[in-house]
Amino acid sequence: MNKEKIGMDLIKNRRSVRSFKEKSLSLKTVEKILEAGRWAPSGLNNQPWRFMVLEKSDKDRLVPYTHYGHVVKAADKVVLVFLDKKKSYHREKDLMALGACIQNMLLAASAVKLGACWLGEILNQKKAIQKALNCAHTLELWGCIALGVPAKRPGGGRRFPLKKLIVKI
Amino acid sequence: MNKEKIGMDLIKNRRSVRSFKEKSLSLKTVEKILEAGRWAPSGLNNQPWRFMVLEKSDKDRLVPYTHYGHVVKAADKVVLVFLDKKKSYHREKDLMALGACIQNMLLAASAVKLGACWLGEILNQKKAIQKALNCAHTLELWGCIALGVPAKRPGGGRRFPLKKLIVKI
């Protein structure tokens, strides 16, 4: 029952955190987050995700590429998530696997009381970012997670009611 | 600490379950799983996922469309996950959101001690399935989760070591 209650709480009460305290995360803490991503499911277990952890001046190089530069700036670390095109077997399924991987990391961040925000708009500049970071041509940027110690408790979150989401046969 | 331990355990020890006991899941149990999906993050909070829950003879109509018909047959319920094209704002980001939503449901299933398997191969027949189920033209099938009471404990799972996944700047 404890596992059920805590697990469901974790899933339902995770929220995007966009403001952070000026506190450093240890490498060990960041590894916990990446570990969670590593255990996501993927088609044929191809594990097409690759991670880059940026901090300090490396992290701040992302700021000009997004309207949410203030979130990147305030975060202690940013985890970039790439699709390894060498490992890709089906583009859409691989993207869903990346989504599962990112969600595992967001949940893990919440479990260890960190704040995290999945930034999507920055992907509009993914080619420029890949070039600026001198990424291998086999890597395609598909995820960006800002991480840090939350400065304040995020709001309640809004979702459609379940009945709006259910399609009857 | 408890939240961290249980949360991380849930994420790291979730496994695909492909064999099920002949036991019925209550509607209430299935709703817990869908609730978890509902709380996934999505770009612009567009919540592009829609769910169809199939059981009994309706569920078994999927069997001819996949090499994993035995898993569908053995499962008590199947949750189909659709992309609502009316809500879509960016195809790739929406697919990642669907992956996050599916992962929430897989984790929730594990949290309530159910077995679940994310079936990907069945998507090869998605157009035929959409037609057979008489789905609205705005709905596109992108996920299929077999659900039931696990018949046996699944194996250990294999993943690349973290160091293989990390790209240095």
B46-77 pLDDT, tens digit per residue, is 999 999 999 999 999 999 999 999 999 999 99
Facing residue for B139 by CB, picked from A139, A143, A167: A167
User: Is the model's pLDDT at A154 over the cut of 90?
Assistant: no
A49-90 pLDDT, tens digit per residue, is 999 999 999 999 999 999 999 999 999 999 999 999 999 999
Check residue B156 and give its pLDDT. 85
Interface confidence: ipTM more than 0.90: yes
Indicate yes or no: pTM above 0.95: yes
Facing residue for A165 by CB, picked from B38, B45, B99: B38
Q: Which residues of B touch A36 (CB under 8 A)?
A: 8, 11-12
Q: Which residues of B touch A159 (CB under 8 A)?
A: 38-39, 45, 47
Contact criterion met (CB < 8 Å) for B41 and A93: no
B113-153 pLDDT, tens digit per residue, is 999 999 999 999 999 999 999 999 999 999 999 999 999 88
DSSP three-state, residue A7: helix
User: Is the model's pLDDT at B4 over the cut of 80?
Assistant: yes
Q: Chain B residue with minimal CA distance to A57? A: B169
Q: List, in order, residues 6 or more apart from B7 with CB less than 8 Å away.
A: A6, A7, A10, A107, A108, A110, A111, A112
B73-114 pLDDT, tens digit per residue, is 999 999 999 999 999 999 999 999 999 999 999 999 999 999
Check residue B1 and give its pLDDT. 59
Question: Closest by alpha carbon to A14, among A162, A154, A165?
Answer: A154
Domains of chain A: 14-152 (3.40.109.10)
Q: Which position has the token pair 């939240």?
A: B3
Best A11, A110, A142 member to test B by mutation, with max B CBs in 10 Å, is A11
Of chain A, the percentage scoring pLDDT greater than 70 comes to 99
Contact criterion met (CB < 8 Å) for B165 and A35: no
Facing residue for A166 by CB, picked from B16, B51, B98: B51
Query: Taking residues B2-19, what's their average pLDDT?
Result: 96
Query: Taking residues A144-166, what's their average pLDDT?
Result: 95
The C-alpha of B22 sits at a distance from chain A's nearest C-alpha, in angstroms, of 22
Which residues pair with residue A49 across a beta bridge?
A: A83
Contact criterion met (CB < 8 Å) for B106 and A8: no
CB A54 within 8 A of CB A77: yes
Contact criterion met (CB < 8 Å) for A2 and B6: yes
Q: Which residues of A touch B141 (CB under 8 A)?
A: none
The C-alpha of B165 sits at a distance from chain A's nearest C-alpha, in angstroms, of 5
Tell me the pLDDT band of A119, cut-offs 50, 70 and 90.
very high
Facing residue for A41 by CB, picked from B9, B16, B31: B16
User: Is the model's pLDDT at A153 over the cut of 90?
Assistant: no
Strands (E), chain B: 49-55, 77-84, 115-118, 139-148
